[in-house]
Amino acid sequence: MEDLRSIFSQEEPNPKTSVYSKYFQAGRRPGVSQQGVSRMKKLAVTLQMSLGLLAGTLMSLATLTGCGQATAPQQAASAGWGYIDTTGNVAIPPQFEAAMPFSQDRAGVLKGGRWGFIDKKGQFVIPPQYNTVESFSEGRAAVQVGDKWGFIDLGGRMAVQPTFENTMPFSDGTAAVRFNKLWGYVGKEGETIMGANAMNVKPMTEGRGAVQLQYDAKWNPWGFVNDKGEVVIKQQYASVLPFKNGVSEVKDEKGKTGLLDRDGVIIYKDETELPSLFHDGLAITSNRGKQGFADNKGNIVIPTEYDQVENFTEGIAMVRQDLRWGYVNNKGEVVAKIQYDKATPFKEGLAAVKLAGGRWGYLNTKGKLAIEPIYDEAQPFSEGLAAVRQEQAK
């Protein structure tokens, strides 16, 4: 694989963050996991709704007792979040205070200040009762009860009791959980896979879980355990990514990167500091602060002329120039002109984009508007439906 060496530039680019992450999640803070950030946002939404309900009640009481002054009619309340299908037709009318993408025929929604799960008919299959929830993965969804986290199954049964400070989604039949400020892994019924003895972990993939088992103010190396919690690759890497297609990207103490197989053997070593796995046969590369794509022989397929690019999904990649986004295919041909304020990757043949006027709509893979831009917020499609929000009917 030595011909891969030319793919990676010697220049460290600015960190890449997906537009979906930037738009739908809060900025990360030191010591806060991405799951924690997402959950803080959900909690903020819940608190905001509760305060709004309280304010409305107080206003009504003031009016009824004569303490309030009559004013012009207030604006209509927010129509809220609902779901549309891939043709733009309303599948579930807007009625929720917040909504999540569908996963395993369930979607987390906020109703009356509490989170529950609905089916694709918009009916609650798990009543709204939780402080916060996460999407289903492998038949389990993390839910917060009080200040602790556990997991429910698709029927709402508490499969893993809420005893944890934090959790990650199930993957490979295991979930990372935090207890007494340390991380470990549990199975789908809460059985211990690895006791909580790690400073940090990543989700288990392909029978390997990345762990930091020891703490040192100067050097906190990563290694890997197997699905029994046994160390199979010793702690020696400055950073690692979960295994995918039999390899993990790792970086050593000197900043050198490489590809590691499941047995801990370096199958490719590069002298640069920019790792990137291939997506649709292409990898992100950079040159003098600009980004583009190269193939697995190191040939530049899409010139390094963009301020930022994202990995390919469904044969199309997002590209940014200045503050606007557009899309190109894997030949570098323009699918949609660079003109959108915000954008998301293609999913199920559609991509949510925010036009200069402030509304969101959806493009098809030909770069044409397939669903008109009438939404205040819009999420990517998942399982044939997308969550959208409108302040009021357009």
Stretch 186-193: mean pLDDT? 97
Stretch 190-198: mean pLDDT? 96
Element (H, E) at 240: strand 239-240
Mean pLDDT of the chain: 81
CA distance 229 to 294: 37
CA distance 76 to 384: 30
- Count Cβ atoms below 10 Å from residue 195 Cβ, excluding itself: 13
Q: Using the predicted structure, report yes or no on whether residue 313 has a pLDDT greater than 60.
A: yes
Domains of the chain, first to last: 1-9+277-394 (2.40.128)
CA distance 328 to 301: 12
- Note the pLDDT tens digit of each residue in 58-116: 333 333 333 333 323 223 345 799 999 999 999 999 999 999 999 999 999 999 999 99
Of 261, 280, 260, nearest in space to 270 by CA:
260
Q: How many CA atoms lie within 13 A of 172 on its CB side?
A: 19
- Can you read off the two tokens belonging to residue 312? 């390919």
Res 176: pLDDT: 98
Res 364: pLDDT: 98
CA distance 297 to 285: 13
Stretch 143-157: mean pLDDT? 97
Q: Angle at CA 138, nearest 5°, toward 134 and 142?
A: 25
In this prediction, residue 287 has a pLDDT band, given cuts at 50, 70 and 90, of confident
Res 19: pLDDT: 30
- Note the pLDDT tens digit of each residue in 4-23: 333 333 333 333 333 333 32
3-class secondary-structure state, position 19: helix
Element (H, E) at 44: helix 34-64
Res 73: pLDDT: 29
Q: Is the dihedral of CA 276, 280, 282, 286 positive or negative?
A: negative
In which order are the strands placed within the sheet that holds 308-309? 308-309, 316-321, 324-329, 334-340
Q: Using the predicted structure, report yes or no on whether residue 201 has a pLDDT greater than 90.
A: yes
Res 136: pLDDT: 98
Q: Of 185-199, 243-257, 308-322, which gets the smallest average pLDDT? A: 243-257
- Note the pLDDT tens digit of each residue in 324-359: 999 999 999 999 999 999 999 999 999 999 998 799
Stretch 236-245: mean pLDDT? 90
Of 270, 279, 348, nearest in space to 9 by CA:
270
- Can you read off the two tokens belonging to residue 88? 């733009």
Q: Using the predicted structure, report yes or no on whether residue 273 has a pLDDT greater than 60.
A: no
In which order are the strands placed within the sheet that holds 200-201? 200-201, 209-212, 222-225, 231-237
What lies within 8 Å, CB to CB, of 157 at 6+ separation is none
Percent of the chain at pLDDT exceeding 90: 63
- Note the pLDDT tens digit of each residue in 26-49: 333 334 454 555 565 555 555 454
- Can you read off the two tokens belonging to residue 248? 């993990």
Res 1: pLDDT: 37
Q: Angle at CA 374, nearest 5°, toward 371 and 376?
A: 120
CA distance 61 to 55: 10
- Count Cβ atoms below 10 Å from residue 156 Cβ, excluding itself: 17
CA distance 113 to 43: 9
Res 52: pLDDT: 46
Stretch 46-54: mean pLDDT? 47
* Local structure of residue 183 (DSSP, 8 states): E
Res 294: pLDDT: 86
Element (H, E) at 145: strand 141-145
Res 253: pLDDT: 85
Stretch 247-265: mean pLDDT? 85
